[in-house]
């Protein structure tokens, strides 16, 4: 059974004790992501996530990684449209190390200029990798068309020209203006004592950012079409629709529908379009929910000579 505590500063702490395990996973989840960025610093939330691991007033970047990995643990992070998360996976007895590292990077990161310059290059390479992968980029193209001129429609990675020019102050200021205990949840699951964990977090979280920014724009879904000609072997197609938010009564129903429609080898789309007709190698559906909207879609790759037959069959399945 999970337990929840809320500290005086608004920080929420959630645990799930699983006594049969000898491990624990812990994460700090911030309600801050790509859709909280201004257009001129698009990509800063993701860059900030990278920079959090690049040194604090207490540790170098190498020491951050070694502290966790020397005890067989794992440390990582991710940035999405609405969330930035930092997490560790450890043997239960090493949880104090995880608490120390994660709270350190959120309170004492130094954003060294040398590390920032290096990390800009890393992210520019990441952008280049995506640009070379049409099966990845098509999702960004579709999102931008679905939510034009809105933060939620922009790429998490940002654009190369922007990443090249984002300053250290802009990265630090984004963290200090958006991160706040009221927007954070610290969770842990595994072999863990809730009360001991809460006390450890209280002692560690004494200097969290106190950002006051709260101007997230309401999403406005727009229909449209995007095409781009490239010399490729396949046509990459994404057919999408407006979905539903996390709070909608049909949230789980849509997840089930997506699974039945295109969730695996036994799904309707896979069986009809690949197995029976051989029109694609892979086809799948997805449902993504946000706090105030959602998207639902089908992605596939097919040949130029198959697309005319495929479209009517796909529409019939819907």
Whether pLDDT at 124 is above 90: yes
| pLDDT confidence bin for 287, thresholds 50/70/90 | very high
Q: Look up tokens 């490729």; give the residue.
A: 232
Whether pLDDT at 272 is above 90: yes
Whether pLDDT at 230 is above 90: no
Whether pLDDT at 24 is above 90: yes
Q: If you average pLDDT over residues 196-203, what whole number do you get?
A: 97
Break the chain into its structural domains and give their ranges.
Answer: 2-204, 235-317
Q: Can you tell me whether residue 141 is helix, strand or coil? A: helix
Integer Rg of the chain from CA = 22
Whether pLDDT at 213 is above 90: no
Give how far Cα 126 sits from Cα of 142, 169, 172, 260, 301, Å. 19, 23, 22, 33, 23
Pick one of 3.40.50.300, 3.30.830.10, 3.40.50.880, 3.40.50.9100 as the CATH number of 2-204: 3.30.830.10
Long-range contact set of residues 276-284: C-beta below 8 Å, sequence gap at least 24: 277/309, 277/310, 277/313, 279/306, 279/309, 279/310, 279/313, 280/306, 280/310
* Count of alpha carbons within 13 angstroms of residue 266, beta-carbon side: 2
Q: State the chain's mean pLDDT as an integer.
A: 95
Percent of the chain with pLDDT over 90: 92
Whether pLDDT at 232 is above 90: no
pLDDT digits (tens, 9 = 90+) for 78-88: 999 999 999 99
| pLDDT confidence bin for 313, thresholds 50/70/90 | very high
Residue 4 DSSP label: E
Whether pLDDT at 261 is above 90: yes
For residue 231, the model assigns a pLDDT of 87
- Please indicate whether the domains covering 2-204 and 235-317 agree at the CATH topology level: yes
3-class SS string, 151-199: HHHCCCCCCHHHHHHCCHHHHHHHHHHHCCHHHEEEEEEECCCHHHHHH
Give how far Cα 202 sits from Cα of 8, 28, 96, 210, 289, Å. 10, 14, 13, 16, 32
Fold observed for domain 235-317:
Cytochrome Bc1 Complex; Chain A, domain 1 (3.30.830)
Q: If you average pLDDT over residues 194-206, what whole number do you get?
A: 96
Active-site residue identified among 37, 49, 82, 119 = 49
Q: With beta carbons less than 8 A apart as the criterion, state whether 111 and 171 touch.
A: yes
Any alpha helices (H) in the chain, and if so which ranges?
44-51, 61-69, 95-107, 113-131, 134-146, 160-165, 168-178, 194-204, 251-262, 268-269, 307-317
pLDDT digits (tens, 9 = 90+) for 155-166: 999 999 999 999
Which run of H or E residues covers position 88? strand 84-91
| pLDDT confidence bin for 40, thresholds 50/70/90 | very high
pLDDT digits (tens, 9 = 90+) for 214-223: 878 999 999 8
Q: If you average pLDDT over residues 186-193, what whole number do you get?
A: 97
Q: If you average pLDDT over residues 243-253, what whole number do you get?
A: 97
Does the annotation mark 242 as catalytic? Answer: no
| pLDDT confidence bin for 299, thresholds 50/70/90 | very high
Residue in 241, 233, 240 with CA at minimum distance from that of residue 302: 233
Q: With beta carbons less than 8 A apart as the criterion, state whether 300 and 280 touch.
A: yes
User: At a CB cut-off of 8 Å and minimum separation 6, what does 311 contact?
Assistant: none
For residue 1, the model assigns a pLDDT of 80
């Amino acid at each position: 059974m999970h337990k929840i505590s809320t500290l005086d500063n608004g920080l929420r702490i959630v645990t799930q004790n699983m006594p049969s395990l000898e491990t624990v996973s812990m994460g700090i989840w911030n309600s801050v992501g790509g859709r909280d960025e201004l257009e001129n610093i698009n990509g800063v939330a993701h860059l900030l996530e990278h920079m959090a691991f690049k040194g604090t007033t207490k540790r170098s970047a190498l020491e951050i990684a070694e502290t966790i990995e020397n005890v067989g643990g794992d440390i990582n992070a991710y940035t999405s449209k609405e969330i930035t998360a930092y997490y560790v996976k450890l043997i239960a007895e090493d949880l104090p190390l995880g608490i120390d590292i994660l709270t350190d990077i959120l309170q004492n990161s130094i954003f060294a200029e040398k590390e920032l310059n290096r990390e800009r290059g890393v992210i520019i390479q990441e952008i280049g990798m995506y640009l070379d992968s049409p099966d990845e980029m098509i999702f960004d193209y579709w999102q931008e068309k679905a939510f034009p001129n809105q933060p939620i429609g922009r790429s998490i990675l940002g654009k190369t020209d922007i990443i090249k020019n984002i300053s250290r102050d802009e990265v630090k200021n984004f963290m200090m203006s958006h991160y706040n205990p009221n927007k954070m949840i610290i969770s842990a699951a595994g072999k863990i004592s809730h009360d001991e964990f809460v006390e450890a977090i209280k002692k560690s979280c004494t200097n969290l950012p106190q950002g006051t920014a709260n101007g997230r724009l309401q999403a406005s879904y727009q229909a449209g079409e995007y095409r781009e000609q490239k010399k490729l072997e396949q046509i990459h197609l994404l057919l999408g629709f407006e979905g539903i938010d996390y709070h909608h009564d049909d949230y789980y129903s849509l997840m089930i529908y997506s699974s039945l429609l295109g969730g695996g080898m036994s799904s309707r789309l896979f069986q009809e379009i690949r197995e029976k007709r051989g029109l694609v190698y892979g086809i799948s559906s997805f449902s993504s929910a946000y706090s105030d909207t959602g998207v639902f879609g089908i992605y596939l790759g097919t040949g130029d000579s198959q697309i005319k037959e495929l479209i009517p069959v796909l529409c019939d399945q819907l």
